[in-house]
Amino acid sequence: MMNEEKLLTVARYLEGDMELQEKEGFAVQLEADAELQQLVAEYNNIHQTLKMKIAPSVEDKNVQVTLETLNKQYFNSADLIKDLPAEQRADVPVAKLSIAPYLKWMSIAAVLVIGLLIWAPWSASLYEKYGISKEMSVAERGADQPNSLEKAAALYNAKDYAGARKILQPMYMETPQNTLLAYYFAITLVETGKEAEARTVFLKLYNGESVFKYDAAYYTALSFLKQENEKDARTWLEKIPEGTANYTQAQELISKLK
């Protein structure tokens, strides 16, 4: 079953628009299909969220009136065969088909697709949402050619973390006591899937007395969160004291962890 078809089937099942036999068959399928179970959960979540948070606007009411008007109208097969020769028209039964069910499920499908894009967990992870949006900045060097650190900063700020890491890594190896260098190098490690290596660098910063001490703690937490390790993420978030730059954000993130 295509994903769109599953969406419609889930909607019909939850909205009570299935005959008993079809509903029983779907219930059996639901028990063995993890994707269907996920869609059911997401549909219920989206449905409830829309109920709570979206009040109908004037435009919404106008659309509703239009749909209700259309639902009262019919497609008459006579309209479709009027151009046929008389002898052929006589053999074609005239029937009226309500478009209401099609409008209903087309609307539900649209809401589901939009809702899944907006509220689905894959649209924005906690790691992405709570990352520190801070650009890497270095001292200006006037009209001189940019040095390696400036090149790395340009790549970092363009979110080319792999490119920035290639430049920062040998520089860090040469001068690990440079805390600014260490901090941004560690972030590039997290962003390129080397979370364990990043934590080694962050730990040195946290155990020191630089201005990056609690930034390092916060990003250590994020590195665990990126690996879906909420327990250790919480442990590191709790190390961030009140009055520091990331305290409020850390507390908010703690409240979202299980």
Looking at per-residue pLDDT, the higher value among 144 and 39 belongs to 39
The mean pLDDT of 107-130, rounded to a whole number, is 56
Given a cut of 80, is residue 226 above it in pLDDT?
yes
Per-residue pLDDT tens over the stretch 172-198 = 999 999 999 999 999 999 999 999 999
Residue 93's alpha-carbon distances to 32, 78, 87, 90, 101, in angstroms, are 43, 8, 13, 8, 22
Query: Is the overall model pTM greater than 0.85, yes or no?
Result: no
The mean pLDDT of 138-148, rounded to a whole number, is 54
Instruction: Please tell me which of 16-30, 47-61, 84-98, 111-125 the model is most confident about, judged by mean pLDDT.
Output: 16-30
Given a cut of 50, is residue 95 above it in pLDDT?
no
- Selection from 227, 199, 203, 221 nearest residue 213 by Cα: 203
Find how far residue 145's CA is from the centre of its chain. 40
pLDDT band at residue 58 using 50, 70 and 90 as cut-offs: low
Structural domains in the chain plus CATH codes:
3-123 (no CATH), 127-256 (1.25.40.10)
Given a cut of 80, is residue 63 above it in pLDDT?
no
Q: What is the DSSP letter of 208?
A: S
Given a cut of 50, is residue 53 above it in pLDDT?
no
Return the H-helix or E-strand segment holding 74: strand 74-76
pLDDT band at residue 49 using 50, 70 and 90 as cut-offs: low
Question: CA 18 to CA 6: how far, in whole Å?
Answer: 14
Task: Give the count of beta carbons closer than 10 Å to the beta carbon of residue 189.
Answer: 25
The mean pLDDT of 112-127, rounded to a whole number, is 52
The values of phi and psi at residue 102, to 5°, are -65, -45
Which value, in Å, is the radius of gyration of the alpha carbons in the chain?
29
Find how far residue 95's CA is from the centre of its chain. 46
pLDDT band at residue 75 using 50, 70 and 90 as cut-offs: very low
CB 178 within 8 A of CB 192: no
